[in-house]
Amino acid sequence: MTILGIDIGGSGIKAAPVDVTNGKLLARRHRLDTPQPSRPKAVAKLVAALVKHFDWQGPIGVTMPARVKKGVTLTAANIDNKWIGTDAAYLFEKTTGCPTLVLNDADAAGVAEMAFGAGRDAMGIVLMLTFGTGIGSGFFMDGRLVPNTELGHLIMHGVKAEAYAADSARRLNKLSWKAWGGRVQEYLDHVEFLFAPDLIILGGGVSRPNKYKNYLHLLATQADLVPAQLQNEAGIIGAACAARILAKDDA
């Protein structure tokens, strides 16, 4: 089964058709710059352009940097605030003509890692934590997604955890990898105390081997701690996998 996955971020929108039986991209990713301002109609226009690029007909899965409930975006992170309260699934369906499932970007990355990456066959409580501009989170219990957790918004030192420990905080404050690793350790200690996970998967740009070699050895957790495996393709793969339900509905 093949489904088109589309990953909407603050700077770029990426898409590719995915074989959802094995998690493999069936064509090279195509990327377009996210419009500025990133208002709903402007973003939907580019989503339609990506659908046309792949000459796609059929279900699509779309990730958003937002909390998503029944296709409606309830928050907006690194995209325009006009998205708050927008029925994103309806908007994309109207613009593309394709049945659409919309989900949170970190949830999508987690779905991909649980199916084909570092969390494959993992049971118990699994946390997917993405470190980038913010801290995204995907929460799984015995392989089932608990959607829309916002663990980057836990409070640490009087601010949101992502303002203290995201990769953007490392760059903004010109922290060494060791100093930043200390902040991440504090964050992981807090998360472990609250949820007692069995496995933590570290995702986002810092999961690339050339980066995690600088800090992973500095971290110690009671849970198993591993870097994500799918990296930049995780959002696309997870979006496509989540949209399988639409293909089944059409069957």
Number of Cβ within a 10 Å radius of residue 34: 20
Confidence (pLDDT) at 63: 97
Residue 172 included in any domain: yes
Contact assessment for residue 19 and residue 1, using Cβ atoms and an 8 Å cutoff: yes
For the stretch 173-187, pLDDT in tens is: 999 999 999 999 999
pLDDT value at 248 more than 80: no
Mean per-residue pLDDT, 78-87: 95
Cα–Cα dist 180/162, whole Å: 12
Contact assessment for residue 59 and residue 74, using Cβ atoms and an 8 Å cutoff: no
Contact assessment for residue 197 and residue 223, using Cβ atoms and an 8 Å cutoff: yes
Q: What is the CATH number of the domain that holds 76?
A: 3.30.420.40
Residue 47 included in any domain: yes
- 138 in the same domain as 100: no
Confidence (pLDDT) at 176: 97
Cα–Cα dist 178/109, whole Å: 26
Confidence (pLDDT) at 251: 46
Mean per-residue pLDDT, 121-126: 96
Confidence (pLDDT) at 230: 94
Q: How many domains does the chain have?
A: 2
- 152 in the same domain as 95: no
- Token pair in block for residue 151: 């663990």
Cα–Cα dist 216/187, whole Å: 14
Comparing C-alpha atoms, which of 204, 193, 199, 248 is closest to residue 230?
204
Cα–Cα dist 63/106, whole Å: 8
Residue 246, domain extent: 2-107+233-250
pLDDT value at 250 more than 90: no
- 79 in the same domain as 175: no
Q: CA dist 85 to 40, 48, 91, 120, Å?
A: 11, 21, 12, 34
Cα–Cα dist 92/163, whole Å: 31
Of all residues in the chain, what percent carry a pLDDT higher than 90? 92
Number of Cβ within a 10 Å radius of residue 217: 9
